[in-house]
Structure 1
Amino acid sequence: MSHYERLYDESEKVKVRFVGFVSDHGRYDFGIIYTKMFFGKPLVVCMQTGRSSLLSQEDAENLEYLQRVYNLRTREEAEELSVFFRTNLPALTMESESEI
């Protein structure tokens, strides 16, 4: 057995939200896991593909990142998801990190 150094091993009760919606470009199903870990960024999981990322409102503005991480076919899909995420994910501030 190889040696490893444990970085963290935490347990917590978290809030999970499941959201499904249809747009002009497709159907989307996401699980949004709100946690105190990861600097307050929720873990957003695409339930169709299993792809996931830590996202905040600010991250959702990066269309190229959304397109790459969620394997979106078009920029229009990324724009639709960006609007959804910017209105449904928390903004990261010093105050919001303590409220999660």
Structure 2
Amino acid sequence: MNLFDKLYDNNENVPVRFVGFTTKDVRYDFGIVYTNMFFGKPLVICMQTGRSTLLDPKDITDLNHLQHVFRIDSQQEAEDLAEFFTEAIPASPFQEQYE
């Protein structure tokens, strides 16, 4: 019995970066998966909470988005994360996912 239609099933050998850092008030631990999937957006995982999101340079500038995704209370914490992600997430052109 076929209950599901498979949309994709890909394997990749991709770079993964694990980085931990502190700001004045907060410690962060992230895993960043630089994949060709998901339109080229890296998958960012908070290793402390398990929350994850796909981020591109435009997403990084949206501080409300960062606050929502990572459940951050202060604007300053979101600004600190945006500064880090600006350096960690490469500016890459939009990629067609389903060619």
Q: Give me the TM-score of the superposition, normalised by structure 1.
A: 0.88
Matches within 5 A, 1:16-35: 16-35=16-35
Equivalent pairs counted in the alignment come to: 96
Matches within 5 A, 1:61-76: 61-76=61-76
Partner of 1:11: 11
Partner of 2:93: 93
1: CA distance, partners of 2:48 / 2:2: 35
Partner of 1:54: 54
2: CA distance, partners of 1:43 / 1:25: 25
2: CA distance, partners of 1:57 / 1:9: 27
2: CA distance, partners of 1:54 / 1:85: 12
Q: Give me the TM-score of the superposition, normalised by structure 2.
A: 0.89
2: CA distance, partners of 1:62 / 1:2: 41
Residue 44 of structure 2 corresponds to residue 44 of structure 1: yes
CA deviation string 1:35-68 (max 9, x = no partner): 1101111000000000000012221100000000
Letter in structure 1 aligned against 2:24: D
5+ residue gaps, structure 1: none
2: CA distance, partners of 1:79 / 1:2: 47
Deviation at 1:92? Answer: 2.2
